[in-house]
Structure 1
């Protein structure tokens, strides 16, 4: 269990370091899509870490949740842009709430041990 947790944290750290050191500039038009997809991916990662801490991590659920959350969030942003409505804010609120809930549960789990 802890090996998977440390591998996830290590992978997240390596990904952040690589992302900060690559001079990649994305067009402004994609900012909403990428930000919402990144938030969805972070939600999935924190959910996976939480599941690993609670000893019920399932790789299939993690992978499908990771991609379906990112695609759903980007789809909401795309449909909202076509309709002229900021639907991406719904995804931001939903994933933000889940991120803070997962973080609070992980904090409680670590403080109990």
Structure 2
């Protein structure tokens, strides 16, 4: 259970101290993709706590969510509508729901 948190901390520290910057025109895509990835990771942690984690479902959901969110942001840019906001709202709600369930599961244990 501690290994995912260690990986998260390692990734955050590498990203924080890295000199890499994202061009402004890609910031919508990256932000939505990161939000989708975090949603998938928290969903995976939740299913691991509930003891029904399946790596195939996790990996396919992880990449599908990222691709769908990026595609939604891209289509929105092409038609001139901020469709990425729909992905932000949807993944944001799921993120907070998963976080609340993880918190409840930790408190019960």
Do they fold alike, i.e. is TM over 0.5? yes
Deviations 1:5-42 (A, max 9, x none): 21111111111011111100111000000000000000
CA distance in 1, matches of 2:35, 2:57: 18
**How does the TM-score come out when normalised to structure 2?**
0.98
CA RMSD between the two structures: 0.6
2:59 to 56, 63, 66: 63
- 1:19 paired with 2:15, answer yes
**How does the TM-score come out when normalised to structure 1?**
0.94
- Consecutive aligned runs of 4 or more in structure 1 exceeding 2 Å deviation: none
1:88 to 84, 91, 94: 84
**Structure 1: where are the runs of 5+ without partners?**
none
- 1:36 paired with 2:53, answer no
Deviations 1:44-81 (A, max 9, x none): 00000101110011111111111100000000000000
Number of residues of Structure 1 aligned to a counterpart in Structure 2? 109
